[in-house]
Amino acid sequence: MLKPVQIACFAIVLSFLNPTLIGIAQNYSPSSVLSKGKWFKFAVTEDNIYRIDYLRLKQLGLDYPSNPRIFGNNQGQLSYYNDGSQPDDLMEISIYTYNGSDGIFNEGDYLLFYGKGTGRWIFDSTTGDYNHVRHNYSDTAFYFITSGPAQGKRIGPAHEPLMQANFNSAVSDALYIHEVESENLIHSGREWYQPASYSRDTEVNPGFKDLVTSEKIKYTIRVLARASVSTSFRITENGSVLSTIHVNGINLATTTGTYAQAMLTGGEALPFSPEPVYKVSFTNNGEVSAKGWIDYLTLHARRQNKFDGKFAQYTDSRSVGNGNVTEFTI
């Protein structure tokens, strides 16, 4: 049932734009590439190499199935401010086509392209670590496929670097984020969290393989609690406690104060297993009505550069440096 709310007071906060940001000229496309031809839209939810068979393109009814072209503009979430530099139209993506023995893209052939999900891992050169940027409004990215009388962009052959490698990487970064967005605390805003039960632990399995077990795994965790008493969260791996996070109590009687107290912490520890599994537990300190939530848990480990025949990315933050030319050994 809706209830009337009496507003006792309000405030207006004025802010002024930096004059240098006003009147910035930007060139716009006269029309969208979607305005001509036959188009089909498809969705991806993660970074991967995607395959589309020629037969599928033919079944879609493309006018020129032997000359497929894929477009996208997936650069993550747009800026909240009108200051972004993203292109205003879809951009063509270079694709690889397997043309069989006849050199023509036709029956029995397929195309491959690299598609990206909506999330991003951003490297921070200051800390030497990564920050995960989640898209707050979509977990699905979209690409568009069309065809034309002329061949579109294709992935060309790789070229040998002009300089000799001076850094070798046989170990790369393994990154994982656990973030379940199932509850919005005050039914407002873009923040969503995963409820944490004091009677059941939350298990986090990053699926790490080929870990360098002599290297510490960095972790960052953010949690929230709503209780009148101090509560705590505990993160463990293989039964060993990595960290205990204490969350102060709040005044539950007020309607204008903090709804839930948040805590952010991090650390690093050697893994107790080559394939570690973590658990996050919530302790209500005897207050049955206490509530807890997990915002996210990120993990940054080191793994050997191995290829198991599936899609794999190799990123080594330790290879970053002025003048570095890195050779990856897989």
pLDDT in tens, 192-205: 999 999 999 999 99
Please give the model's pTM, rounded to 2 decimal places: 0.85
Name the burial class of residue 199, with classes exposed (0-12), middle (13-18) and buried (19+) by CB atoms within 10 angstroms of its CB.
exposed
> What SS3 state is found at 49?
strand
Report how far apart, in Å, the C-alpha atoms of 3 and of each of 6, 117 are. Answer: 10, 41
Q: Which letter does DSSP use for residue 317 in this model?
A: G
Residue 306's pLDDT band (boundaries 50, 70, 90)?
A: very high
- What does DSSP say about strands 167-169 and 326-328: parallel, antiparallel, or unpaired? parallel
Measured distance CA(92)–CA(71) in Å, rounded:
4
pLDDT beyond 50 at 14: no
| SS3 category, 87 | coil
Nearest CA to 209 among 329, 298, 302?
302
Residues of the chain with CATH 2.60.120.260: 172-304
Q: Which residues contact 33 (CB under 8 A, 6 or more apart)?
A: 71, 89, 90, 146
Query: In this model, does residue 1 exceed pLDDT 60?
Result: no
Helix H or strand E segment including 91: strand 91-93
Q: What is the CATH number of domain 172-304?
A: 2.60.120.260
pLDDT digits (tens, 9 = 90+) for 96-149: 999 998 999 999 999 999 999 999 999 998 888 899 999 999 999 999 999 999
pLDDT at 95 over 90: yes
CA-to-CA distance for 40 and 60, rounded, in angstroms? 8
Going by C-alpha positions, the residue among 283, 267, 137, 319 that lies closest to residue 201 is 283
Q: Residue 252, class by beta-carbon neighbours within 10 Å (0-12 exposed, 13-18 middle, 19+ buried)?
A: middle
Q: What pLDDT, on a 0 to 100 scale, did the predictor assign at position 11?
A: 43
pLDDT grade for 3, boundaries at 50, 70 and 90: very low
Summarised one tens digit per residue, pLDDT across range 219-278 is 999 999 999 999 999 999 999 999 999 999 999 999 899 999 999 999 999 999 999 999
Provide the 3-class DSSP secondary structure of residue 126. Answer: coil
- Is a pLDDT exceeding 60 seen at residue 191? yes
Give the pLDDT confidence score for residue 15 in this predicted structure.
46
Q: What is the mean pLDDT of residues 176-181?
A: 97
Residue 57 has which token pair? 């393109």
Nearest to 204 by CA among 282, 278, 300: 278
